[in-house]
Amino acid sequence: MTTTHHDAWLDLTAEEAIEPELPICDAHHHLWHRPNQFYLLQEYLQDTAGGHNVVSSVFIECSAMYRDNGPEHLKSVGEMEFAQGMAACSASGLYGPIAVAAGIVGFADLTRGDGVKEVLEALQIAGHGRFRGIRNHSARDDDPDVPDARTNPPPHLLTDATFRKGFACLAEHDLSFDAWMFAPQLADLVDLAQAFPDTTIVLNHIGTPIGIASYANRTQEVFAQWSASITAVAACPNVVVKLGGIGMPICGFGWASGEKPPDSATIAETITPFLLHCIEQFGPDRCMFESNFPVDKQSMSFTVLWNAFKRVSASFSPSERASLLHDTAARIYRIDMA
């Protein structure tokens, strides 16, 4: 594949992989083919080829490859078929040893209430044993200059009564729930987790502290509010957290617009307070690193990002680092650890 202008920009900050022997389960990435943009199996494998020992990964829904016909509520099954196809290609061994999309998180609209069972059953069939859970976006903010999730979720989606009827169906199908929301919304997640203590909830992107628009230049205030909310979420034993998503421009670090990408030491210095607070509150066995590629590729390469994660976790014991880098994700998403 021809090197793009962005790839050339990423190459301005080149590093060798730190501690390349440590096994990694990438807890969160996407694959898609959209107009004028594609990120498929070979692109992901190209990004992971920088020396880190990625042994498996988890595909997270991103509205890719929906069916073009049939009932509206079943169109997302097309994405499961697509992700399963990518996983099957990876499992053939022709593309190397990484088990890409060994676990798959799809989409089913929980606001269908009990009616979501039909969708969950269709996803289960299409997933061929790899379907692990669903994600409904709830990320939104009252500041019009903060971009909401692409699904334009309503306020307080997680507290909606019909949504919760659909959510109740997840436990019946042994499925987890991935939650993407902004930091000011985390109280809703606490309420949801307490109402459904038997359902595993995976908080994406450390709860996404906002650093742009009206939140810009309020670093200490934003961190204080975010950290208090994370402490409250961590008190719910059925919630685990993904450590990543820090390359998204909404976090306000400004890396994507720099003359060159940040190096791993710079990234680690910036994100250490956030990640260490999560690890201290949740414990390593409830935390997992994620690449969030190709979204976080806006700001840094895969190799540099995981170098930063390894720098942040350097002071932890070997077993704790194993949890952060691989074991927590493999356990939560039920990926064969043999």
By DSSP bridging, strand 32-34 and strand 37-39 are antiparallel
Asked if residue 79 lies in contact with residue 33, where contact means CB atoms within 8 angstroms, the answer is: no
Q: What is the pLDDT at residue 35?
A: 84
Specify the CATH class of 22-332 in words. alpha beta
Q: Which two tokens stand for residue 291?
A: 């690449």
Q: What is the pLDDT at residue 28?
A: 98
Cα(305)–Cα(267) distance, integer angstroms: 8
Q: Which two tokens stand for residue 14?
A: 């080149």
The size of the chain, in residues, is: 338
Q: What is the pLDDT at residue 2?
A: 41
Q: What is the pLDDT at residue 4?
A: 73
By DSSP bridging, strand 99-106 and strand 23-29 are unpaired
Give the alpha-carbon dihedral of 160, 166, 120, 26, to 10 degrees. Answer: 50
Q: Residue 316 gets which letter from DSSP?
A: S
Asked if residue 233 lies in contact with residue 205, where contact means CB atoms within 8 angstroms, the answer is: no
What is the pTM for the complete model shown? 0.97
Neighbour count for residue 188 (Cβ, 10 Å): 18
The pLDDT profile of the chain, 338 residues, written as one tens digit per residue, is 345 779 999 999 999 999 999 999 999 999 999 888 899 999 999 999 999 999 999 999 999 999 999 999 999 999 999 999 999 999 999 999 999 999 999 999 999 999 999 999 999 999 999 999 999 999 999 999 999 998 899 999 999 999 999 999 999 999 999 999 999 999 999 999 999 999 999 999 999 999 999 999 999 999 999 999 999 999 999 999 999 999 999 999 999 999 999 999 999 999 999 999 999 999 999 999 999 999 999 999 999 999 999 999 999 999 999 999 999 999 999 998 65
Distances (CA, A) of 74 to 59, 69, 157: 19, 9, 21
Of 103, 105, 51, 32, nearest to 294 by C-alpha is 32
Indicate the domain borders of the chain.
Answer: 22-332
